[in-house]
């Protein structure tokens, strides 16, 4: 008989409250835009809160006509992630956020999860900026942040006793606290390499126009996805409370 203090049976998607709050925020923003705002008001909101590389190009002719001013140069590194083009766009992002965001939130806790998602969103925006200098086309969507969460989750979900044990039935309460693999070990792990290869291949196919997602004329900011993913891999240890706890324990040992 299993010990109820160490094991529990739970659904695959027992979503942490902070992830539910993230989903609610994305849906509310999209609902307000589509159901409450006039086309003119929605256009202003999009230009004021989307990430537009031309904001940072002093030589751009249209820079003075972009709403938001200096404040938007700061907040749009984060606010663009709350905007989506349509229901398909937001639906695809939520489908990826549920498994990877939930795994990360259980390990990091609400505040670290929130800070991490904002940081990797900004990293994705920066990657888009340096690859689209002067571009006027707004970038929107949470994909870069979710890519960062995906990369971070891959640092620990494959570990023995980790979250993927839930696919075999019961899961240990400590599944989300297993030691993460090092960055070097992660980059050598065949499971990570297969996942990354498939994910990167899909991004390249979409970027090259071989695979179409969404309405005609919509471009996929795949460089932002890659920027968020790389940031998630590299910054994982800076946010991981498990790694920090292990380090403190090792220092306190006499």
Q: What share of the chain is helix, strand, coil (3-state, %, to 5)?
A: 65, 0, 30
Q: How far is CA 115 from CA 120, 122, 238, in A?
A: 9, 11, 11
Quick one: tokens of 163? 């979250």
CB 227, CB 214: distance < 8 Å: no
Q: Report the alpha-carbon distance of residue 14 to residue 12 in Å, rounded.
A: 6
Domain assignment present for residue 7? The answer is no
pLDDT tens by residue, 14-26:
899 999 999 999 9
Give the closest residue to 154 by CA, choosing from 179, 132, 186.
186
Is the pLDDT reported for residue 250 higher than 50? no
Task: For residue 106, give its domain range.
Answer: 13-252
State the burial class of residue 236 (Cβ atoms within 10 Å of its Cβ: 0-12, 13-18, 19+): buried
Domain assignment present for residue 1? The answer is no
pLDDT of residue 218: 58
CB 94, CB 26: distance < 8 Å: yes
For residue 220, what are the contacts with CB-CB under 8 A and spacing of at least 6? 203, 206, 207, 213, 214
What percent of the chain is modeled with pLDDT above 70? Answer: 79
Mean pLDDT is lowest, of 153-157, 207-211, 238-242, for 207-211
Total number of domains in the chain: 1
- Name the band, by pLDDT with cuts 50, 70 and 90, for residue 65: confident
Domain assignment present for residue 236? The answer is yes
pLDDT of residue 205: 79
pLDDT of residue 62: 57
CA angle 121, 97, 215 (to 5 degrees): 80
Q: How much is the average pLDDT of 82-106?
A: 94
pLDDT tens by residue, 213-233:
445 445 678 899 999 999 999
Give the closest residue to 106 by CA, choosing from 48, 173, 169, 155.
173
Neighbours of 44 (CB within 10 A): 14
- For helices 190-207 and 222-239, give the axis angle rounded to 10 degrees: 150
pLDDT of residue 249: 44
Q: How much is the average pLDDT of 69-97?
A: 94
CB 120, CB 144: distance < 8 Å: yes
CATH code of residue 44:
1.20.1540.10
pLDDT tens by residue, 11-63:
445 899 999 999 999 999 999 999 999 999 999 999 999 999 999 887 655 56
Domain assignment present for residue 222? The answer is yes
CB 76, CB 49: distance < 8 Å: yes
Question: How remote is the C-alpha of 204 from its chain's centroid?
Answer: 18
Domain assignment present for residue 161? The answer is yes
Domain assignment present for residue 54? The answer is yes
Domain assignment present for residue 2? The answer is no
């Amino acid at each position: 008989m299993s010990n109820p203090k160490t094991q529990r049976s739970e659904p695959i998607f027992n979503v942490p409250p902070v992830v539910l709050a993230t989903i609610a925020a994305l849906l509310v923003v999209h609902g307000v835009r589509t159901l409450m705002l006039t086309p003119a008001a929605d256009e202003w909101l999009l230009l004021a809160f989307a990430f537009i590389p031309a904001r940072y190009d002093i030589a751009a002719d249209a820079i003075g006509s972009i709403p938001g001013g200096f404040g938007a140069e700061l907040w749009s590194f984060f606010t663009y992630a709350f905007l989506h083009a349509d229901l398909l766009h937001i639906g695809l992002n939520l489908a990826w956020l549920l498994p990877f965001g939930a795994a990360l939130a259980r390990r990091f806790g609400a505040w670290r999860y929130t800070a991490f998602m904002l940081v990797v969103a900004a990293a994705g925006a920066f990657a888009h900026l340096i690859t689209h200098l002067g571009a006027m086309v707004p970038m929107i969507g949470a994909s870069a942040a979710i890519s960062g969460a995906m990369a971070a989750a891959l640092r620990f979900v494959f570990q023995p006793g980790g979250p993927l044990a839930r696919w075999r039935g019961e899961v240990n309460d400590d599944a989300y606290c297993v030691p993460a693999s090092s960055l070097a070990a992660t980059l050598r792990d065949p499971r990570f390499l297969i996942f990354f290869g498939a994910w990167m291949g899909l991004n390249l196919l979409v970027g090259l126009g071989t695979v179409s997602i969404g309405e005609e004329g919509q471009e996929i900011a795949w460089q932002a996805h890659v920027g968020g993913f790389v940031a998630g891999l590299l910054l994982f240890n800076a946010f991981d409370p498990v790694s920090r706890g292990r380090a403190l324990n090792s220092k306190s040992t006499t």
